[in-house]
Structure 1
């Protein structure tokens, strides 16, 4: 629509100046002007997910900010189709809100890599959880990312008020219908108010990430809101369901049971699924890789896992859940680290991530196919599944508390069932043989782009220690 209009100006005096001004003011984020400017105010120290004590040694700060303004709500302009090409229309423009966002950044501006990750904080537990921070923190810290955790759903704010009524008394999220516009306003604030939020560090790219329920809502944001606002440079959708969420609670137009990411986006979208995700939500495998869409399924992994739980429990006042089996120990987070790195390269220099094989399924019932050890075949593969010392399952249950949080933690964390000594001896007659096979598998994952060099080195060193070498 823009280019024909600009060409029509060609006969007019000074038309080149007009074109230049439009391109300078528009650029990649030509729609940003339609996103309202939020107000930002620093909050006192000691917020709900404060990891400052953990981050100081890494040269990072952890600070909370209030963000407030007037938010839009949307409704579907037409039937929402399974191809993801959704159209949203503004239903209202003046819902007042006040919520919080936490910012973790390098204390030294020289360490900042220019990349900001905005996480749609997960609220499935009734409280905000920084799941993608817990999974991606090693890459964020060593590469110099800035991170923003956004509370933009009502249940998250209610949980904050429950935990600290006085601190969060001013919080106001009347509904989730405004959550999409709050994400846009937060992303815009990261750019336009970086002097406050990032202590003057200027972001080059702003990405959005979200896990599970947050990923489902990000599907809707990407398909319906992002084409309007375009304030985000790329997306990481982690552990999504078959479809998205409704645009508003009162919208009579529902979402289709199965939805892909629309294929006409100009910014990249990375979809990262565990084995448990695709077992429970098999239609996500319908994703088609394109120049702007990438989809990986990680064999042997679960919706949450021991690494994620360790990260969440580090700031939790709850005792760890008591589960029937040990949680899944497949290091999914290392693939997620690689995915973030690929997303940055994709958005900055245009290099797309490698393609990932799909987990193998039977042709008749579409069941996941497994090897003699009970581990999945196909998919993105880490050395732990190619050179296994355990069966990495996607089933578990609680043996203690049946409260929702404990039950949910056990069911979604999958399982690890170590091989007995006799089986390990049959598979790997000597420690040297195990290490040889492991290093070869790690080298394959590195060459394929599923492991970063730093994670490859750590994985190989851990294998050496396990082998006593």
Structure 2
């Protein structure tokens, strides 16, 4: 068993930032009393070995090797006075060949209203090193380091097999030293300086929800870092655990063997699915499972995977052969977050 790893953070100040892709600008953070900061996060991450993933989700992992990493963490947080005690850790989506924060797009107004902190993690290889885009225009992308060497020149990623432990380490940081739940004082420095987190939730949409499905089934029973999970638009399959030195094949993950969420969880998982997720490419209907004490699924009738709200200013540039879906998914997502936080708190 590897010792519990603790990442180190350094604030990024040189050059211009490369924010996650977003077609919608989001709320005015300074006007809302929020601060945005960007950090490098470095440490030693372990990978895991596993046989064929069982359909029932009861994945058994064995620690394999470890590799150094240095990735990007983007933080949007309120003042200590406004802080709700909740930290949302978003596994950023790389289907477009670079980081995107689709769940932040849906949840931003609720995050501001409630006073939550949001931590976006460049969890995957493509975000840092570049690679093939799975959707959108296709082709190769350069990654953060190639785009802005003056700012991101020290970043390096050992492969998607290590993404799970990278996210674990950042989640552990968010809930560890200084967390009021553990009886400590607020953080003195780092991304959450001055805050005392009480609840840490992992969130992700589409490809990131597929990754979190693998995380919940294999890593969470061992790490126990997160207090809850919000999965939005997951597919029927799972992200693999064996991509060392390379990016996971997202298209292959989407079409992989069906993986349910394991039914012996002790942590709340709220799954939000658009009707458009149930068939087609994601084919999530094959991974439907009954609600339980710890797993609840909301399905939004008449809703597309990506709607007019998510596409924002780009909606007019997309030719779908008809009108783009303008459903109210955004409000279901915000309600889901509020209900999940209440559920975690025992309500």
Residue number in structure 2 paired with 1:155: 126
Gaps of 5+ in 2: 131-142, 178-186
Per-residue CA distance 1:149-169 (angstroms, 9 max, x = gap): 000111111322343232111
Name the CA distance, whole Å, in 2 between partners of 1:114 and 1:54.
Answer: 21
Q: Is the 8 A contact 2:84 2:114 kept in 1?
A: yes
1:79, distance to aligned residue in structure 2 (A): 3.8
Residue number in structure 2 paired with 1:329: 326
Q: Is the 8 A contact 2:259 2:287 kept in 1?
A: no
Note the aligned Cα RMSD (angstroms).
Answer: 2.5
Residue number in structure 2 paired with 1:88: 61
Q: Is the 8 A contact 2:160 2:241 kept in 1?
A: no
Name the CA distance, whole Å, in 2 between partners of 1:52 and 1:340.
Answer: 18
Q: Does 1:233 align with 2:227?
A: yes
SS in 2 for 1:235: strand
Residue number in structure 2 paired with 1:48: 18
Name the CA distance, whole Å, in 1 between partners of 2:158 and 2:124.
Answer: 9
Residue number in structure 2 paired with 1:292: 294
Residue number in structure 2 paired with 1:100: 72
Residue number in structure 2 paired with 1:169: 153
Per-residue CA distance 1:112-136 (angstroms, 9 max, x = gap): 1000000000000001001110011
Per-residue CA distance 1:235-277 (angstroms, 9 max, x = gap): 01111110211111379xx996211100111111111110110
Q: Report the number of matched residues.
A: 309
Equivalent position to 1:183, from 159, 167, 174: 167
Name the CA distance, whole Å, in 1 between partners of 2:340 and 2:17.
Answer: 30
Name the CA distance, whole Å, in 2 between partners of 1:225 and 1:62.
Answer: 29
Q: Is the 8 A contact 2:234 2:284 kept in 1?
A: no
Name the CA distance, whole Å, in 1 between partners of 2:41 and 2:214.
Answer: 22
Q: Is the 8 A contact 2:40 2:72 kept in 1?
A: yes
SS in 1 for 2:193: coil
Name the CA distance, whole Å, in 1 between partners of 2:325 and 2:104.
Answer: 19
SS in 1 for 2:29: helix
Q: Is the 8 A contact 1:35 1:188 kept in 2?
A: no
Name the CA distance, whole Å, in 2 between partners of 1:140 and 1:160.
Answer: 26
Equivalent position to 1:341, from 333, 338, 347: 338
Per-residue CA distance 1:89-138 (angstroms, 9 max, x = gap): 00113x000001001011x3111100000000000000100111001111
Task: Tell me which protein shows more helix as a share of its residues.
Answer: 1
Q: Is the 8 A contact 1:154 1:176 kept in 2?
A: yes
Residue number in structure 2 paired with 1:268: 268
TM-score, reference length from structure 1: 0.62
Between 1:216-225 and 1:48-57, the stretch displaced more is 48-57
1:71, distance to aligned residue in structure 2 (A): 0.4
Q: Is the 8 A contact 1:74 1:91 kept in 2?
A: yes
Name the CA distance, whole Å, in 2 between partners of 1:35 and 1:218.
Answer: 21
Q: Is the 8 A contact 2:36 2:76 kept in 1?
A: yes
1:231, distance to aligned residue in structure 2 (A): 0.7
Residue number in structure 1 paired with 2:115: 144
SS in 2 for 1:324: coil
Provide closer, same or farther for how the CA distance between residues 284 and 203 of structure 1 changes in structure 2, counting only shifts above 3 A: farther
Q: Is the 8 A contact 2:40 2:73 kept in 1?
A: yes
Provide closer, same or farther for how the CA distance between residues 117 and 249 of structure 1 changes in structure 2, counting only shifts above 3 A: same
Q: Does 1:61 align with 2:45?
A: no
Residue number in structure 2 paired with 1:220: 214
Provide closer, same or farther for how the CA distance between residues 175 and 238 of structure 1 changes in structure 2, counting only shifts above 3 A: same
Q: Is the 8 A contact 2:258 2:287 kept in 1?
A: no
Provide closer, same or farther for how the CA distance between residues 322 and 144 of structure 1 changes in structure 2, counting only shifts above 3 A: same
Q: Is the 8 A contact 2:27 2:108 kept in 1?
A: no
Provide closer, same or farther for how the CA distance between residues 309 and 198 of structure 1 changes in structure 2, counting only shifts above 3 A: same
Q: Is the 8 A contact 1:80 1:256 kept in 2?
A: no
1:191, distance to aligned residue in structure 2 (A): 2.5
Gaps of 5+ in 1: 1-30, 352-469
TM-score, reference length from structure 2: 0.83
Name the CA distance, whole Å, in 2 between partners of 1:67 and 1:257.
Answer: 33
Q: Is the 8 A contact 1:65 1:102 kept in 2?
A: yes
Name the CA distance, whole Å, in 1 between partners of 2:284 and 2:8.
Answer: 41
